[in-house]
Amino acid sequence: MTMDHAFEPSPPVHPAPATREQFLASDDKDMLRAARDLTKGLGEAKPVLYWPDMLLSAALGYGAMAGAILTESVPLAVVLGLVSSLALYRALMFIHELTHIHRDALPGFRFTWNLLVGIPLLTPSFMYEGVHTLHHKRTQYGTVEDPEYLPLALMKPWSLPVFVLIALLAPVGFLLRYGVLVPLGVIVPPIRKLVWERASALMINPEFRRKPPEGVMKARVFWQELGGFVWAWTLLLSTQILGWRPLLIALAIVSLTAVLNQLRTLVAHLWENEGEPMTVTAQFLDSVNVPPPGLAAEIWAPVGLRYHALHHLMPSMPYHDLPEAHRRLKRELGENSTYDGANHPGMAVLVARIAKSTMVSRD
């Protein structure tokens, strides 16, 4: 060793990244305090951002869908179908915001979204409102009472492709629900009860049973289901005038949207909990951020969903404030902090991690 090398400073030693297992019993209170203190001044939903974003996404989605139906060029139809699917996907993801923003924050936004997006796509807001918030309850996250959690990383390898591809059937399932099961449920109460408990929420946990609606939600469910029934039959009857081609193209576009959302859901968490209640920090580390510089996540996880772990720390933070909240926390807490433990590079890495976990024998 030369004298020059002898006096060179040693490279800095960084601590190992935080893991979920470290915080199963107690929280990282410093991180939780930082999340509270560093995000002061953020958190107000801005109509000037919400309205144009949602309206332009919906307009682009429906416009491109019309182009895909009307064109005789197959390649152009495919391109327009892809554009339509991505734009409608972004418009649809505002259902997540509707669940968390204060009821007085955006007057008229919920009604307009349901009229333009929720009912036309047969996914009105009641299918998320009153359900998604259970996923954020500290004692219910990752348990059998969580409608949006399955321990996918602990299941068999074949479960992952089945989980994603079953979403292809979502549009047909929605048509069946609103066009057939809703009117049948009016006549036969047991069918109504079954449909409400098992087919009235955007859930992935087959063990979850939805409780009857109460208060203001009862009125919302009535008019949204009525709108869904009318629209479902409008679509079906249109085939007698326009033929089946327009409806089949529209269903294919919405199927692609559903699969994209299911892929996003697949990598929204690490899915490593076996059903026990978890601390807030453990829930955070079981969730996923895919922050910049990559741009792809803004397409497959739009409207703030690329910051899904951060969202679990601050569920009421509007989507447009999440990037700034992330920058502040990342800058303050640094590399290999607990906060950094929920930041991941992209979808492919996450899918590979979950798939690898399914291949570990647990017999």
Asked if residue 187 belongs to a domain, the reply is yes
Asked if residue 287 belongs to a domain, the reply is no
Asked if residue 316 belongs to a domain, the reply is no
The answer for residues whose C-beta is within 8 angstroms of residue 363's C-beta and 6 or more apart is none
Give the residue, 13 or 234, on which the prediction is more confident: 234
Confidence of residue 24 (pLDDT cuts 50, 70, 90): low
Task: Report which of 45, 56, 58, 53 is spatially closest to residue 107, judged by C-alpha positions.
Answer: 45
Range(s) of the domain holding residue 142? 45-147+159-278+349-358
Give the residue, 157 or 8, on which the prediction is more confident: 157
Q: What is the pTM of this model?
A: 0.91
Alpha carbon distance 65, 77 (integer Å): 9
* Cβ–Cβ under 8 Å, residues 280 and 32: yes
Task: Report which of 123, 78, 347 is spatially closest to residue 228, judged by C-alpha positions.
Answer: 123
Give residue 2's pLDDT: 41
Asked if residue 173 belongs to a domain, the reply is yes
Domains in the chain, number: 1
Q: Is 32 exposed, middle or buried (0-12, 13-18, 19+ CB in 10 A)?
A: middle
Length in residues, the chain: 363
* Cβ–Cβ under 8 Å, residues 303 and 319: yes
Task: Report which of 168, 154, 45 is spatially closest to residue 96, judged by C-alpha positions.
Answer: 45
Alpha carbon distance 256, 253 (integer Å): 5
Calculate mean pLDDT across residues 162-186: 96
Confidence of residue 230 (pLDDT cuts 50, 70, 90): very high
Asked if residue 66 belongs to a domain, the reply is yes
Asked if residue 119 belongs to a domain, the reply is yes
Alpha carbon distance 182, 176 (integer Å): 9
Asked if residue 198 belongs to a domain, the reply is yes
Q: Which residue has the tokens 């906060």?
A: 339
Tokens of 240: 């007698």
Give the residue, 18 or 143, on which the prediction is more confident: 143
Q: Which residue has the tokens 């990037």?
A: 323
Task: Report which of 257, 274, 277 is spatially closest to residue 265, judged by C-alpha positions.
Answer: 257
Residue-wise pLDDT for 276-320, tens only, equals: 888 999 999 999 999 998 889 999 999 999 999 999 999 999 999
Asked if residue 293 belongs to a domain, the reply is no
Q: Is 274 in a helix, a strand, or coil?
A: coil
